[in-house]
Chains A and B, each alone.
Chain A
Amino acid sequence: MGERVAVNPGRVDWCGDNPGIYLKDDPAGEWLSLATFFRVTYSPHGPGRAMIVVGAPDRDAGHPQAPNLCITDNRALSDYLIEGFVSKFPSFRGKVGLAAMATLALDGHETHGSLETVYSEVVTGGGVRLEMTWSQIGTPFAVEVGPENSPTGAHDMYNLFFEAKDASITVNGEALPGRAVDRQFFGRTMSTAFLALSETWVTPRT
């Protein structure tokens, strides 16, 4: 165990849950479908929920031309999360589909299932139903990383992490292409489908 400081001197940016699903056909190939869900309890823009689906990462178009869309109940929050966090995550970095994404107002949100079996997040808005589903979920472990290991490269980050061996993203009931694959993350080989719960992002004090 390293030296611990009980009170992180940095600035808390946001906290909440942030599960994700990143799909490929070929583990060595490009991402085919990306999705991440946020249930935020604290942020500079208040609480809220947002599901971001980039079903055509390399296509410069948003919904309805391409399955690139965000459904949220707090537009200021989702803009903040996309600009400061999602666009810096390695899987989303430089993807034109993220920049071209349409944003729809959230009409409904439901969580189904359990971490012991199958877990899903469902959002609806603007006549669109998005669903992220995780199964074959592993046992949890706690993650705490500094900027050198955090997905943005700029934050301290804490969460409770579950990997899922199988996962799907659907848009209006139609599954997006790809499957969860293995990657190197946090020094381990683990799936590109995961539940990151009780997550906190902190900008370190300089």
Chain B
Amino acid sequence: MPLATPIHPGTPDWSGENPGILLKEDPEGAWSAMALFFRIVYSPEGAGEALLLYEDPMRATSLPQVHNVMLSDNEPMARYLMAHFIGKLPSLGGVPAFSAVQYLALDHVETSGDARSRYSETLRAGDLKVELIWEDLGAPVALELPVHETGTKEHEGFTVLIESRKASILVNGRALPGRPVPRVQAGLQTTSAFLYFSETWIWPPAAS
């Protein structure tokens, strides 16, 4: 429930949309493919769009061997997110691919579908085409996350979570291996494929 005072005493870090797809072939095994998209309306480095793609999260290498890449139309913003957000998420910052990511210029992004049924983001960077597709979508839930419930364990956050029970990552038309697996967020049983809309990350007052 909202705070008693209308204005949060912390300092906004960044805000926007942050949908993702994290896939495993074996629910008990390692991540097989990961994608996290950002449509940022505010950050210390300005606005923009970015996609972190780990074609193989377990390999500490990038192009030309594997698409462990960050696509963006605002590289300072993308690097800020890598340093201050993604690097602090155990799932995405703790895999070998994190340290090998190469940065590529994003040429085009197209959103299609409806978050009530099927939703997609399609991105192009040179010869690379990446499609993120979320299906079998759940009802939206508003989350007000205290520090201990956030991935970074440093921020507070507001977001709308729409879970997806069927999702895929296509790289130049080829589906990456794996499927969404169960996860728990703030006591909520959900999946590792999600739409996060209207998301704001806030430095709490002590950290501001």
Contacts and interface: CB of A to CB of B under 8 A. Distances in A.
Q: Name B's interface SS.
A: strand
Interface stretch (A9-17, A82-90, A91-99, A172-180): A9-17
B116 A46 contact: yes
A198 B6 contact: no
Contacts of B198: 15-16, 41, 158-159, 198-200
Contacts of A15: 140, 160, 197-198
Interface stretch (A22-30, A58-66, A101-109, A141-149): A141-149
- Interface extent on B, as a size class? 35 or more
A136 interface: no
A7 B15 contact: no
B6 A187 contact: yes
A8 B141 contact: yes
Contacts of A2: 1, 3-5
Interface string A177-206: 000000000111000000001111010100
A16 B39 CA distance: 12
A204 B144 CA distance: 14
Interface of B: 1-10, 12, 15-17, 41-42, 46-47, 114-116, 139-146, 149, 158, 160, 162, 186-188, 195, 197-200, 202
A156 B6 CA distance: 11
A45 B200 CA distance: 24
Given A142-B7, A144-B6, A198-B198, 10 more contacts: A2-B4, A4-B3, A7-B187, A7-B188, A16-B197, A140-B12, A143-B6, A143-B8, A156-B2, A198-B197
Contacts, number: 137
B59 to A, nearest CB: 34
A160 interface: yes
27 contacts: A1-B3, A1-B9, A2-B3, A2-B4, A5-B144, A6-B144, A6-B187, A7-B188, A8-B1, A8-B141, A8-B144, A12-B140, A12-B142, A15-B140, A15-B198, A16-B198, A42-B140, A42-B162, A42-B195, A115-B42, A143-B7, A158-B142, A160-B42, A187-B7, A198-B41, A200-B160, A204-B1
A187 B197 CA distance: 27
Nearest to B188: A7
A125 interface: no
A127 B176 CA distance: 46
Contacts of B116: 42, 44, 46
A101 B184 CA distance: 46
A145 B6 contact: yes
Contacts of A188: 7
A198 B162 CA distance: 15
A158 B3 contact: no
A200 B158 contact: yes
A135 B142 CA distance: 31
Contacts of A46: 114-116
Contacts of B199: 198
Contacts of A6: 143-146, 149, 186-187
Contacts of A186: 6-7
B144 to A, nearest CB: 6
Nearest to B150: A6
Contacts of A160: 12, 15, 41-42, 200
A144 B160 contact: no
B53 to A, nearest CB: 22
Nearest to B160: A15
A161 to B, nearest CB: 8
Contacts of A197: 15, 41-42
